[in-house]
Amino acid sequence: MSTMWQGCLAHTDYFETRSSGGHDYGVWVTTPPNYDPAAAQAPVVYVLDGNWTVGLTAPLIVTQLDPMQPIQPYVQVSVGYAGEEAEHWERLRNRDLVPPGEPVAKEFIDAVESRVEAGTMTREQADAYLAELNDSRADMFLNFLTDDLHPRIERDYGTAPSGHGLFGYSYGGLFSLYAWLTNGTFFESIGAGSPGIINEESQVFARLREMGDTLPATKLHLTVNDKEVLGDLAVYQALSKNAASFLHHLTARNGSVTSALMRETHVTGLQASFLSYLRTCRGQ
* 150, containing H or E segment: helix 150-157
User: How does the average pLDDT of the chain come out, rounded?
Assistant: 93
What Å distances lie between residue 122 and 73, 129, 229, CA to CA?
Answer: 43, 10, 29
What's residue 277's pLDDT?
Answer: 98
What's residue 234's pLDDT?
Answer: 94
- Residue 156: domain span: 3-281
**What does the DSSP assignment read for 241-258?**
HHHHHHHHHHTTSB--EE
* 52-81: average pLDDT: 95
Interhelix angle 123-131/89-97, nearest 10 degrees: 20
φ and ψ of 42, to 5 deg: -110, 145
φ and ψ of 29, to 5 deg: -115, 115
What's residue 253's pLDDT?
Answer: 76
Q: Quote the DSSP letter at residue 280.
A: H
Least-confidence region, from 92-106, 205-219, 262-276: 205-219
Instruction: Give the span between the Cα atoms of 89 and 81, in whole angstroms.
Output: 6
CATH of the domain at 73: 3.40.50.1820
What's residue 174's pLDDT?
Answer: 98
Which pairing describes strands 24-30 and 189-193: parallel, antiparallel, or unpaired? unpaired
Q: Quote the DSSP letter at residue 162.
A: S
- What confidence tens digit (pLDDT) does each residue in 169-223 have? 999 999 999 999 997 789 999 999 999 999 999 999 999 999 888 888 899 999 9
Query: Facing residues of 221 across strands?
Result: 191, 258
What's residue 2's pLDDT?
Answer: 52
Does residue 280 surpass a pLDDT of 60? yes
Other CB atoms within 10 Å distance of the CB of residue 134: 9
Instruction: Give the span between the Cα atoms of 210 and 154, in whole angstroms.
Output: 33
How many domains does the chain contain in total? 1
Nearest partner of 161 among 44, 247, 50, 256, judged by Cα: 44
Q: Quote the DSSP letter at residue 105.
A: P
Instruction: Give the span between the Cα atoms of 176 and 226, in whole angstroms.
Output: 20
Measured in residues, the chain has a length of 284
* 83-94: average pLDDT: 92
* 214-234: average pLDDT: 94
Does residue 70 surpass a pLDDT of 70? yes
Burial class (CB in 10 A: 0-12, 13-18, 19+), 151: exposed
What's residue 129's pLDDT?
Answer: 85
* 6: helix, strand or coil: helix
